[in-house]
Structure 1
Amino acid sequence: MTEASVVVERAAETATLWLARPERGNALGAEIVDALDAGIDAVLADGVRLIVLRGRGRNFCTGLDLADLEAISDGDLALRILRIELLLQKIHALPVTTVAVAGGRVFGAGADLFAVCDHRIALRGSSFAFPGPAFGLVLGTGRLAGLVGDTAARQVLLAGQAIEAQRALELGLATAVIEEDAVDGAIGAVHAAATRLDATTVAALHGRTRHADDAGDLAALARSVARPGLKARVEAYRAKVAAARR
């Protein structure tokens, strides 16, 4: 029997969705994206007030799953990336409180997944990077700018280098940096705040305080993936990174 790529745990009005592909760094492939989407729908239908995203193993999420890159076409790769953006927009617009608890490497689409949540808890020792621009990808840039400001977003995206948890906190990407043994207490505090008001009021507040240009973000991403040679650019980037590590 195939193990689930996303494991859902329920405790009262809190649902924790665990990315459960640690052997792949919890990278976002089609299966895990579909499972996240379905899991969110299921827990919302059950009336949860708080959704927590976490990752099994060492890393929260290492980005786009490219294990099958050689076997897929430019079109399939582009569709996979666009599907991730739609999931990110969905999470960003949820009518309930969301929390991401991230340790290890939080890269690419994984960093974008972290960034769309209301509370963004970085574990001590974690690191964050948005390498997409290195291969011509414009994913989540508007949302990142909304968190850290235009100038800081440009600096982070153009540099393409990992930033440590404390720097992520200083920029506004993370909302807290804690040790792993403090996670339960932090989630408990968020749950208390999330359930202090009735669900209708929380949903209304979320709607009025969310500032995003979903159509513009999707259009910018579509233009970036539609440029000829998407797969070749990704392969060149991977080769460059591998060479640097050697």
Structure 2
Amino acid sequence: MSDELLRKHENHVTRLTLNRPQKANALSPSLVEALLDAVEYAATDGTRLLILDGAGSHFCAGFDFSDVQTSSEGDLALRFIRIETLLQALYHAPCATLALAHGRVFGAGADLVASCGLRVAAPDTTFRMPGLRFGVVLGTRRLVHRVGADQARDILSTSRSLAAEEALACGFVTGIATQQDWPALINATQSAAETLTPAAAAALHRRTVTDSRAEDMAELTRSVTTPGLKERIRRYRESSK
């Protein structure tokens, strides 16, 4: 397990903590691979509840752009594809999933939250999804599933920030709780998850989640393999300063 990801497994609960606090838990290639390995392993080790949270002041600042200028367009495209692979694995995990968000939640970090069945934000949390501003189509269908088509269109086209209360009102998160209240919340969620057998929980998930993995990956791949990805990212980052 990478030092960038902390894993704790106890009593059928797996907790994955993003551990790059000095980088606001931005998604480096190694962190994405560690997360993907851990999520896939949780599907096989008897995990009944999978929890995702972040160390430090922020849950996740999204894609780590720190080395974008030294990366090829092919490398960048592959990184986005691996992030989508992670998001799909999390969204289709056969157990209960709980995201605990706080601070700044940006881009692919917000997609991590959207990929969990239960999504709880601390009162100070803000969410922003700017990917379309540099032409990357990531997580659109999952966002539509959470908030509806009209809300998703507004959130993505404006790339505006959502405060926790608005995120709750539109359905992006399922609850708001202070970090001090998270242990009690985890206990309650664990108890609820244990009321179903693993087979029943997996069946419920299959019947209530549309499987659009192939279409979502195709859309993402088309968007990141369109020539000029690095330049689009550069212009976006310049405009955001």
Q: TM-score range by the shorter chain?
A: over 0.9
Kindly provide the CA deviation profile for residues 226-246 of structure 1, in whole angstroms up to 9, marking residues without a partner as x: 21110111011111111xxxx
Deviation at 1:156, TM superposition (A): 0.3
Deviation at 1:197, TM superposition (A): 1.3
Distance across 2 between alignment mates of 1:149 and 1:46: 34
Deviation at 1:46, TM superposition (A): 2.6
| Residue type of the alignment partner of 1:131 | P
Partner residue of 1:50? 49
Deviation at 1:53, TM superposition (A): 0.2
| Paired residues of 1:142 and 1:212 also in contact (CA < 8 A) | no
Structure-1-length-normalised TM-score: 0.95
Kindly provide the CA deviation profile for residues 97-149 of structure 1, in whole angstroms up to 9, marking residues without a partner as x: 00000001111000000001010001111000110011111100011011101
| Paired residues of 2:40 and 2:89 also in contact (CA < 8 A) | no
| Residue type of the alignment partner of 1:126 | T
In structure 2, stretches of 5+ residues that fail to align are none
Pair 135,100 (structure 1): closer, same or farther in 2 beyond 3 Å:
same
| Paired residues of 2:60 and 2:109 also in contact (CA < 8 A) | yes
| Paired residues of 2:39 and 2:89 also in contact (CA < 8 A) | no
Partner residue of 1:85? 84
Kindly provide the CA deviation profile for residues 150-195 of structure 1, in whole angstroms up to 9, marking residues without a partner as x: 0100000011011100000001000001111110111111111101
Superposed counterparts of 1:174-185, under 5 Å: 174-185=173-184
Partner residue of 2:109? 110
Distance across 2 between alignment mates of 1:154 and 1:145: 8
Superposed counterparts of 1:152-163, under 5 Å: 152-163=151-162
Distance across 2 between alignment mates of 1:221 and 1:38: 21
| Paired residues of 1:143 and 1:212 also in contact (CA < 8 A) | no
Please list every run of at least 4 consecutive aligned residues from structure 1 whose deviation after the TM superposition is greater than 4 angstroms.
none
Partner residue of 1:224? 223
| Paired residues of 1:132 and 1:138 also in contact (CA < 8 A) | yes
Distance across 2 between alignment mates of 1:83 and 1:44: 18
Structure 1, 214-223 or 80-89: larger mean CA deviation? 214-223
Percent identity, aligned pairs only, is 41
Deviation at 1:217, TM superposition (A): 1.1
In structure 1, stretches of 5+ residues that fail to align are none
Superposed counterparts of 1:68-147, under 5 Å: 68-147=67-146
Superposed counterparts of 1:29-40, under 5 Å: 29-40=28-39
